[in-house]
Amino acid sequence: MKLTRRKRFGALLILAAPLLPGVGLSLHAQESSKTVSDRWRPKDGTYAEPGPGFDARCGEYGDTQIDWSSNLISGGEEGCKIAKLSDPAPGSIKLDVVCESADREGRPYKEIILLKKIDEKTIFIRETQDGKFKRPGGRMAYCPDKLQRSYKENNRKS
C-alpha cells in the first residue's frame, strides 16, 4: 500500500510540475501590475513657482505645463515630448525628453527632467541644460482649478 501512495504522489508531482512556473509568473504579473498603478505621477495641468505673485504667474499660464495624455511637458518657450519615463525612487520620476525651443531654431535636442513629489499639490523640478544639471531646480505648485480651466479653454481655442 505504501508503494502505491508513493507512485500516486510521484505521478501527481509529474503532472503538477509544469503548472508551477505558470503559477509563479501569474503571481509576479499580479504583483507588478499592482506596483505600476501605485506609482506616483504629478497631476495634469499648470504649475507655477509658489510665493508672491503665484496667482499672477498661474494666470499667465504658469511656469510648467504637464499633459500626460499628449506625453508633453513644457515651460516658457520650450516644449518637450516625453520619450521615456522611469521611476528611480518612490515619489519621483525621471523623464527623458526631446525638446524644441525658439532659440534653437526648431532643432530638437535631448534633455532629462526630474520630478519629485513634495506634497499633493507641490513638486520639485530639476532639468538638464545642454545635457548637464547646471541649475539647482525649484518647487512648483499646482495652479488653482479656476486657472486650470482657463488654460485648458485657451488651448482648445488655439
pLDDT of residue 64: 93
Q: Which of 50-64, 84-98, 105-119, 141-155 has the lowest mean pLDDT?
A: 141-155
Parse the chain into domains and list their residue ranges.
2-38, 45-157
Tell me how far apart the alpha carbons of residues 74 and 57 are, in angstroms, rounded to a whole number: 15
pLDDT of residue 94: 97
Beta strand pairing status for 45-48 and 109-119?
unpaired
SS3 category, 73? strand
Pair 125, 115: CB distance under 8 Å = yes
> What percentage of the chain has pLDDT greater than the value 70?
70
Higher per-residue confidence, 104 vs 71: 71
Q: Which of 20-34, 36-50, 95-109 has the lowest mean pLDDT?
A: 20-34
- This prediction has a pTM of 0.71
Tens of pLDDT, residue by residue over 114-128, are: 999 999 999 999 999
DSSP secondary structure of 12-46: HHHHHTTHHHHHHHHHHHHHHHHHHHHS--PPSEE
Tens of pLDDT, residue by residue over 4-39, are: 554 554 444 444 444 444 444 433 444 444 455 568
For the record, the C-alpha cell of 54 comes out as 503665484
